[in-house]
Amino acid sequence: MSMANPKAAFMVQMPTLKTIRFVAFAILFFFSLIVLSITSSLTQTNYSGASQYGLGIGTSLFTILATVIVLGLEAYAKPMWTSWTAIELSWLFLMVAFWAAIGGLASNDSNYTCNGLCFRYFTGGGYCTNTSYTVCQEFQVVAAFSWMNFVIIVGLFAWTLTVAIVASKRGDKFIWKSPAHSYETHAIYLDAPSPAFNSNPSLAKGKIVDLERARTPSPTPSI
């Protein structure tokens, strides 16, 4: 009975990520569409700080494009550099900062500019304009969806980074230039993968023949 190579059989199981990542990207896409439409509306108002919400437009557009490009390429082609762990961690880190900035801006405006759904300086007069009602409502919506995007991206970043660090410490030298979610259903081998030419059946067969020939004693010369 042949014994399997214990080193080749030793595998490190990693947590599932692919499905959760897909769902998270889909949610980010739809939430970013909402923030994009509302921040675009805010920049058209007469509110003095409306121009600051251009950051929301840019961040929403980037998030939408990133999720569509990454998931689209993965659906129709083999994982490309856009799915590399190092690349994904880089843009997720940037999005953490930008979504936190948008959420903080909208929360601050909602708390200090508005009193409920009305501008504070209207409160004493006992009336509220339709514009102030709309703007204050938009502040609250932008803040809510921005913070939800922030939480989702922080979770994705933390999980992806954890997978990458664990894989790297356990011997995977290729994790940073490969998708972290590729470890969903199979394991990480501690040995580096064999060169591509070894997978060719004819070359592999020839290699086996050469090895067997090396073990066979040389024939004795005929007399």
Kind and range of the H or E run holding 103:
helix 85-112
pLDDT tens, position by position, 136-161? 889 999 999 999 999 999 999 998 88
| pLDDT (0 to 100) of residue 185 | 44
Does the pLDDT value for residue 188 go beyond 70?
Answer: no
d(CA 140, CA 149): 14
d(CA 132, CA 165): 49
d(CA 14, CA 19): 14
Does residue 3 fall inside a structural domain?
A: no
Q: Is 121 exposed, middle or buried (0-12, 13-18, 19+ CB in 10 A)?
A: exposed
- Which residue range(s) make up the domain with 66? 14-186
Helix (H, G, I), strand (E, B) or coil at 109: helix
Does residue 5 fall inside a structural domain?
A: no
d(CA 189, CA 173): 10
Q: Are 22 and 70 in contact (CB under 8 A)?
A: no
Does residue 200 fall inside a structural domain?
A: no
Record the pTM: 0.70
d(CA 168, CA 193): 15
Across all residues in the chain, what is the average pLDDT? 75
Which residues in 60-84 are b (16+ Cβ under 10 Å) and which e? beebbebbeebbeebeeeeeeebbb
Domain count, the chain: 1
Q: What angle do helix axes 130-169 and 85-112 make, rounded to 10 degrees?
A: 150
Q: Which two tokens stand for residue 17?
A: 């990520």
Does residue 62 fall inside a structural domain?
A: yes
Does residue 60 fall inside a structural domain?
A: yes
| pLDDT (0 to 100) of residue 59 | 96
Does residue 164 fall inside a structural domain?
A: yes
- Separation of CA 114 from chain center: 35
Does residue 204 fall inside a structural domain?
A: no
pLDDT tens, position by position, 41-85? 999 887 778 889 999 999 999 999 999 988 888 777 776 777 788
Does residue 7 fall inside a structural domain?
A: no
